[in-house]
Amino acid sequence: MPDIVIHEVGLRDGLQIERDTVPTATKAAWARRLAESGVDMIQLGSFVHREKVPQMADTDELFAAFRDAGPRPVFTGLVLNEKGLDRGLACGVRYFCMGVSASETHSRKNTGMTTAEAQERIIGAALAARAAGAAVQVSVQSAFGCSYEGIVPESRVLDIVRRYVDAGFPIVSLADTAGHATPDQVERLFTVLQEIDPSVECACHFHDTYGLGLLNCHAALRAGVTYFEAAFAGLGGCPFTAVTGGNVCTEDLVHLLHRLGLRPDIALDPLIDVAREAGAFFKRDLPGRIYKTGAIKWATEATKAT
């Protein structure tokens, strides 16, 4: 994969909070169009309780539709426990995302377990996934703050990371579930994380609840983060937080990277198309900006020329 990896999570994190269920055929069409953009990874859904998160009830069917797809993009799935992992393995998922919350309150609301209990189960599931030949990315949710508890001690976040690394899982995402992160905090925490083990591959997942999403992505980039998770049109939000906000918008993030001379191979037009279709489907203005304004023409042409 390229040095900077774009992980499009709109079909999972973007849609999970929406009340209007998107038909499976529409999700599949959006996934194919997103793949045309050249993003590296696409999260098709999560293997969670169908009644608790009805938008994800068709995740198995969606993965089955892409089971014979080529190696790029990588289609990923989120699991929270062993039952979800079994479902994912049964429909051929080769890359799993799993995580725990650094906030005890958020952990109990999201999984019904304490952070320690959840991490024990996640590491067990991650080991089982790896034994089955699948890749695993682990994460720390509420890593930069919690809408229930407020400040989350950085030492707690780093302790969780150490347990992941000790268990042999080097791809670690820090997720700003509540959108509380600031650029200085992001740069500091990711810098310390990489000092734990230089072989760790860092991923970031920011929500734009308070308007700092892209600033935090830029800070993460400066700190050496290589995996960036984002959702088309800025959709999303965790249904188990007190104040929820959308994800960093994929097309806005790609536009920023283009302005920095990075990832010129990722095409904006397919991302913009999906964002506009999502806006039409949900019949409202969505948080993204570039799908409304379009890219700066001269800047786009200069990026393609590099």
**Which residues neighbour 14 within 8 Å (Cβ) at sequence distance 6 or greater?**
231, 232, 233, 235, 236, 246, 247, 278
Active site residue 146: no
Distance CA 126, CA 78 (A): 11
Name 298's Cβ contacts closer than 8 Å, sequence gap at least 6.
none
CB atoms within 10 A of CB 178: 29
Enumerate the H helices of 136-201 as residue ranges.
Answer: 154-166, 183-196
Dihedral of alpha carbons 179, 183, 184, 185, sign: positive
Neighbouring C-alpha atoms within 13 Å toward the C-beta of 16: 29
How far is Cα 129 from Cα 84, in angstroms, rounded to an integer? 11
Q: Which of 97, 202, 238, 249 is catalytic?
A: 238
> How many Å from the N-terminal Cα to the C-terminal Cα in the chain?
19
145 vs 141: CA distance, rounded Å: 9
Residue 186 burial (10 A CB sphere; 0-12, 13-18, 19+)? buried
Could you list the active site residues?
Answer: 238
